[in-house]
Amino acid sequence: MRLEIPTNAERFGANLFYEVQKIYELEGGYGTDSEFDSPFHVIQQIPYERLYEIEKDLAIVIPVKDERLRLLEGVLCGIPHNCLPIVVSNSKNEPIDRYRMERNMVDTFCRHAKKKYIIAHQRSAELARIFKDGGYPQILDDQGLIRHGKAEGMLAGIALAHLAGKKYVGFIDSDNYFPGAVFEYVRIFSAGLSQGKSPYSMVRIQWHSKPKIVDGELFFTKWGRVSRITNQYLNLFLSHYTGYESEVLRTGNAGEHALSMPLALSLDYSTGFSVETHHFVSLMEKFGGVLPSPIPEIMKNGVEVFQIESRNPHFHDAAKGDDHIQEMIEYSLSVLWHSSICPKSLKKDISNELSRLKIVSKKEEPIKLRQYPVLSSLNFTAAAWKIDWQEHGNFSPS
C-alpha cells in the first residue's frame, strides 16, 4: 500500500490521535522502492512483506446477527488467507436455525479454501465457559450465557483471538455487500498497524462514502447522521482539554477498526452499539493524564490511533430503520455524557442535542450503559484449558 505519512496528530496525555491518512495505491509493490530513500516525501510505501508480517498474526472478528448468508460469505471471501476469521454469531436458533445455516456455510467455505477459522455462537455454553472459568462474570446474564449485543460478541471475539495466540485483532461487519471493500479494510488494518511505534496502537477506518439512491440517482454521502453528531461532540470533548478547537477525530463510530492485542486487553468496553465511541472515552479517561492512569506502562509507551480513509464506498445492509439510528446517537452521546471527565458545559450541550432530536427530554439523564472492565482481568490460563478447538470450527491452534 502507498499512503500518506501520518504527520499531524493531537496529543491528549499519552494518546496520539493522528489526522486521517489518504491512500494513494491499494497495492504498494513487493520489496522496498528506492524512490523512497530520500527523506523528503509525504507518501510512504508499505511493501507487501510488511503487511504479510502483520496479517499472519491478525484475527478478524466478524460479528453476525441474522444477516444474509450471501453477505457473510462475501465477507469471508474478502479476508486475506493468512488472517484468522473469527465468526461470533448471535443469530436466531428458531423457528429457523439460522446459526446452523451460517455454520454449514462457513465450514464448507473454509474447508474448500483450506482456511483456518473459528466460529462460535454468542449464546453457547462453550463460549460462556471461557468467561466463567476466567473469572469475568460481568459479561454473563442470569442464565450464565454471554449477554446479547454487538460489544459482547466483540469481547468474545477478542478473547478467542488472544487464546489463539494472535497479536492483533480487527473487526469487520458481516453485512457488507462488497468483498473488495472488506479486502481493502484488512489491508488498511495491516498497513495502519505496521506504522505503530508503540505496542499500543489502533487503526480506525473512515469510509470514503456511502452510496445512496436519492431521487432515482446514485449519490455518495460522506457523513452518516450518526457519525456527524458523534464526531462533533468527541472533538468538543478533546478540545476542552487541549484548549484548541479541533476536528481531528473522524471515526467515532468506526465499526471497522483493529487494535494491537495489548491495547485491546487494556481498554474498558461499553455495551452494544456504544462500543466504538467508548474506545475514545476509555483512552481519554485512562491515558489522557486527567485521572491517574491504572496502567503506567501505557503512559510510558503512549497510544497511537491511526485513522485511514478507505477508497471503496461502504455499502452495507442499510434497511435497519430510523429507530436504529436514534439508538446509535443516544448510545454514542451517552458514553460521552457519563464519562467521569466529561466537562459540565459539554454535558449541557449533549443534553440539548438529545432533546432537540427528541431522544431524551431535557430533564432526564441520558441512559447509563453497562460497562465491562479490561479483558486483561480475565484469567486466560484458567479459561483455556477446557477449550476444544475442534468444537469451534475445524480450527487447530497449531
> Site for ligand GDP (CB under 6 A): which residue of 6, 13, 47, 63?
63
By the rule CB under 6 A, 67 interacts with ligand GDP: yes
By the rule CB under 6 A, 85 interacts with ligand GDP: no
Helices (H), 245-379: 261-264, 275-287, 296-301, 321-337, 344-356
* Least distance to Co ion, CB of residue 180, Å: 17
* Least distance to ligand GDP, CB of residue 363, Å: 29
Size of the site for ligand GDP (CB under 6 A): 19
306 contacts 21 by C-beta, under 8 angstroms? yes
175 DSSP 8-state letter: T
> Site for ligand GDP (CB under 6 A): which residue of 21, 44, 45, 90?
90
Helices (H), 36-139: 48-55, 69-78, 98-113, 125-133
- Could you say which residues in the range 238-277 bind ligand GDP, by CB under 6 A? 255
Burial 263-273 (b: 16+ CB within 10 A, else e): bbbbbbbbbbb
Closest CA to 164 of 214, 116, 226, 218: 116
By the rule CB under 6 A, 102 interacts with ligand GDP: no
Q: Which amino acid is located at 98 in the chain?
A: R
Residue 10: phi and psi, rounded to 5, are: -95, 135
Question: What span, in angstroms and rounded, lies between the C-alpha atoms of 263 and 256?
Answer: 16
Identify which of residues 90 and 260 has a Cβ nearer to ligand GDP in the complex.
90
Question: What span, in angstroms and rounded, lies between the C-alpha atoms of 236 and 12?
Answer: 13
- Could you say which residues in the range 168-207 bind Co ion, by CB under 5 A? 173, 175
Question: What span, in angstroms and rounded, lies between the C-alpha atoms of 306 and 106?
Answer: 31
- Interaction partner, residue 88 (Co ion, ligand GDP, none; CB < 5-8 Å by kind): ligand GDP
By the rule CB under 6 A, 150 interacts with ligand GDP: yes
Q: If DSSP codes are grouped into helix, strand and coil, which group holds residue 45?
A: strand
Dig out the grid coordinates for 81 from the structure: 488467507
Size of the site for Co ion (CB under 5 A): 3
- Part in contact with ligand GDP (CB under 6 A); list of ranges 31-39, 143-151, 162-170, 281-289: 143-151
- Part in contact with ligand GDP (CB under 6 A); list of ranges 147-155, 290-298, 367-375, 380-388: 147-155
Angle at 78 between CA 164 and CA 68, to 5 degrees: 95
Identify which of residues 102 and 175 has a Cβ nearer to Co ion in the complex.
175
Q: What one-character-per-residue DSSP string does 380-393 give?
A: HHHHHTT--GGGSS
Evaluate the CA torsion angle 3, 4, 10, 11 in order and state its sign: positive
By the rule CB under 6 A, 175 interacts with ligand GDP: yes
Question: What span, in angstroms and rounded, lies between the C-alpha atoms of 310 and 181?
Answer: 8
Letters for 327-366 (x = contact with ligand GDP by CB under 6 A, - = none) are ----------------------------------------
Question: What span, in angstroms and rounded, lies between the C-alpha atoms of 18 and 8?
Answer: 6
* Least distance to ligand GDP, CB of residue 172, Å: 8
> Site for ligand GDP (CB under 6 A): which residue of 278, 316, 338, 392?
316
- Interaction partner, residue 64 (Co ion, ligand GDP, none; CB < 5-8 Å by kind): ligand GDP
- Interaction partner, residue 184 (ligand GDP, Co ion, none; CB < 5-8 Å by kind): none
Identify which of residues 149 and 196 has a Cβ nearer to ligand GDP in the complex.
149
- Could you say which residues in the range 103-122 bind ligand GDP, by CB under 6 A? 122
Identify which of residues 175 and 327 has a Cβ nearer to Co ion in the complex.
175
Letters for 306-345 (x = contact with Co ion by CB under 5 A, - = none) are ----------x-----------------------------
Question: What span, in angstroms and rounded, lies between the C-alpha atoms of 345 and 27?
Answer: 46
> Site for ligand GDP (CB under 6 A): which residue of 16, 51, 79, 88?
88
* Least distance to ligand GDP, CB of residue 336, Å: 18
Question: What span, in angstroms and rounded, lies between the C-alpha atoms of 330 and 59?
Answer: 30
Interface residue list for ligand GDP (CB under 6 A): 63-65, 67, 88-90, 122, 148-150, 153, 173-175, 255, 316, 320, 324
Interface residue list for Co ion (CB under 5 A): 173, 175, 316
